[in-house]
Structure 1
Amino acid sequence: MQAKYLIIIALLGIAGLLGFNIINSSHYEDNKAVAINTVEPPESNDKPISTTNREGIANKPLDEQPKAIMDKATTQINQAQQTEQERLKKMDSLQ
């Protein structure tokens, strides 16, 4: 009899966790939709960060690939920092 109760408790626990997961994922989707709707669209003078440069890196010799990857990452970081600084200047001018 004790094994029967243990199985019932385990099934109830699994059902509870499944219900929690369903509720939590719906809240996550709602928050994600709100976050997407509140993000400003990029301005026309913003430079898009290129993510299609994988072919260029793959065509380089193996000894140059790590350097190419680091250069690409550094360029993306610099572009992101420049965009952030421009947005901060805009926010300061609005205040």
Structure 2
Amino acid sequence: MDVVGSEIGQKMRSAIKAKLTELGCYVDDELPDYVMVMVANKRTRAQMEEDLQLFLGDNTELFVNWLHQVLKKLQEVTVTTPLLPDVEIEKDKATT
């Protein structure tokens, strides 16, 4: 994994842990890791709700909705943009 991807992963993990704490859920080191694995495996919203119900109880739907909103925002800001043409090459061609 590249440095940027690793940094994003750590920030995601921290955000997940903070949200679980905010919801008053018991948080150990494994639960945020488990959520990250579900994200990496592209589990659906319904699958996540089913898998997390035992841990989060009544907060499951609220947490999964929050998580999917965060993932959607992250996807929107990380969409790659096409490379701009190399201006220096174009400039060199014009002068020769």
Band of TM-score, shorter chain: 0.3 to 0.5
TM-score, normalised via structure 2 length: 0.36
- TM superposition score normalised by structure 1: 0.36
